[in-house]
Amino acid sequence: MRLKSMILAMGAALLLAGCEKYDDSALLARMDKAEADIKELQRLVGQINTTLSGLATTVDALQKQDRIVSVSKLEDGSGYVVEFSQSGKITIYNGKNGIDGIDGTDGTDGTNGHDGQTPTIGVKLDADGNYYWTVNGEYLLDENNNKIAATAHVATPQLRINNGNFEISYNGGVTWDIIGEAGNTGAVVFSKVEDGTDAVTFTLGDGTTIVIPKVGAFVINMDTDVIISAGSSVNVTYTINSSDDATVVDAFGTKGFEAEVMASSVSAGMVRITAPNPLTNGKVYVIAVKGDGTTAARILSCEEGVFNLDETAFAVKVPAAGGAFEVPFQTNQDNPMVMIAPGYSWITYVETKAVRNGKIVFSIEENTSEEERTGQVSINFKQYTIVQEGKSSTPVTGGGAADLETINNGEGSGSISEYKTANGWTASDSRVLNYSSRYEDVDSPRPVLSARSSKNGVLTSPVLSGGCGTVSIDYTRAMTKTGSNFTIEIKSSDGETVLKSSNHVDETLKQYERSKLSFDFNVAGDFIIVVTGNKCSNTGTTNDDFMIIDLSWTGYSE
């Protein structure tokens, strides 16, 4: 029975029963519910028509490659507002749970009414590459049996409720066709909207999905710190996110700076900046404007390029044993250009540390000749000379200290191997560890000699001169448990003869506990210091590695 007919019938029954004492509360309640159901259906149908219009806009946006700016939920949670970059805003509603059909009239054989069935309206991609409207999965056809294009450029299908039925019009309300009995709206158009990071996915009631990318933020990407010299020019590249065909870029400078934009496309190019002479601390403003008036800007700070090289480093001769040769510098520019002149293979460019305050590091091989040698290097196209002593000048006179802070170029290493310092001290079967977090006066790695049953680390000096009076050693146990055991030998300059030696055992030294000792040898002439790690007797199979923090000696005295 149609909803409207049922309401009229119930009203007539109410009038006929007016003269009798009859409890009409149940009948009135049924009439109130019927009216409320009709109003609810009409409200929901209005939402469906709004959503159909939104679907047509969504299809158009997909085909013209429009993008989505934002997706926001309606306050009551019933749907979404979707904003496109070119197609404007649309409102779409979610499907609703059904409204029960109206019960049949009472009577001897009366039965309950059944739920109305709302059609599922959607779109389908055809073989011709266009989307067309569908009802319950079948193409919607006009009076000439042609499929109806799903686009906002023609009349969007509309629904209405008439005499208890859903009716649809595809010609702007000129004609209407019954497509189902009025009932619940279900997921008539959209069943789900998923707002992803890069795209929004619309799922229709029949499971069809439409994916539309989101627009990115309109921004200019470029370096904002410009290093420049007086009267010179530099080019700063830029790219633009989310530009359109009408995007334009302009730039202007302050305090005498000039700026010229050289665009290679609507989304990329470079800005050529020319500095005044004398140089000032100016700025350059770069502004991009999209066709819709959206703007993005960057402020470039222009600063004078500075490069200060510590040229005094080249006045110091490199020991014959070779090692790391460091040249400090300060700059606000990129790393300097470093080159080694041909023919000086004994010099190797290792690295440039840091950008603002750093060091240029060369590795120098051992000079086995007795003659001094020189090598040419270039830093930022300026020539410098590195001087290395010959082997005959290697011995150190009258006492000194081992340059253990330079071992392995000041870099730590957990691998047991052989490492050298800049002045030629060699640590074999050793690691290089940094205990600066444990000792305030230790700011760089030191050698850790193995002291094990199968491996004995050895620290060997280069040839030293002036004789050896006292050797002082500052060391710490590196491994767990307790104990240390090492031997110090003073050998002849050829390393073949042990002139004097001393063995030290401390079976109570704890891990990271520090000990400072002195050993008197009083040996004249050129000599070599050798420190060998030995295993303690009280630690079983555990190794007894120890770190030498500092080692120094005094000269011979009669």
Identify each DSSP E strand in 406-526 by its residue range.
413-420, 426-433, 446-449, 458-460, 468-477, 482-492, 498-510, 514-523
What is the three-class DSSP state of 337?
coil
Each residue of 431-476: pLDDT tens digit? 999 998 888 889 899 999 999 888 899 999 999 988 999 999 999 9
Cβ 449 vs Cβ 546: under 8 Å: yes
One domain, residues 273 and 132:
no
Over residues 147-173, the mean pLDDT reads: 82
| pLDDT for the residue 30 | 66
Total number of domains in the chain: 4
Domain match, 300 and 311 both: no
And the tokens for 220?
Answer: 């200019």
CA dihedral angle for residue 535, residue 540, residue 541, residue 542, rounded to 10 degrees: -70
CATH number at residue 327: 2.60.40
The reply to whether 439 and 483 lie within a common domain is: yes
Confidence of residue 44 (pLDDT cuts 50, 70, 90): confident
**Are the CB atoms for 296 and 248 separated by under 8 Å?**
no
Most confident listed range (196-205, 356-365, 377-386): 377-386
Is 96 a residue whose pLDDT tops 50?
A: no
Whether the per-residue pLDDT at 396 is higher than 70: the answer is no
Give yes or no: residues 228 and 267 share one domain: yes
pLDDT band at 26 (very low <50, low <70, confident <90, very high): low
pLDDT in tens, 316-370: 888 888 888 999 888 877 778 899 999 999 999 988 876 667 888 899 998 888 8
- What CATH number does the domain containing 429 carry? 2.60.120.260
Q: Which of 304, 332, 362 is the last residue of a domain?
A: 304
What is the reported pLDDT for 117? 57
Give the tens place of pLDDT for each residue, 216-241: 768 888 888 888 888 888 899 999 88
> 292 falls in which pLDDT band (50, 70, 90)?
confident
Q: What is the model's pTM?
A: 0.37
491 in the same domain as 413: yes
Residues 454, 532: Cα–Cα separation, whole Å:
13
Q: What is the per-residue pLDDT for 516? A: 93
Do 173 and 38 fall into the same domain? yes
In this predicted model, what pLDDT tens digit does every residue of 122-141 receive, in sequence order? 888 888 778 888 888 888 88
Q: What is the pLDDT of residue 8?
A: 41
Predicted local confidence at residue 551, as pLDDT: 96
Residue 368 belongs to some domain of the structure: yes
Same domain? 202 vs 112:
yes
Identify the pLDDT of residue 49: 86
CA distance 190 to 139: 17
Average pLDDT, the chain: 82
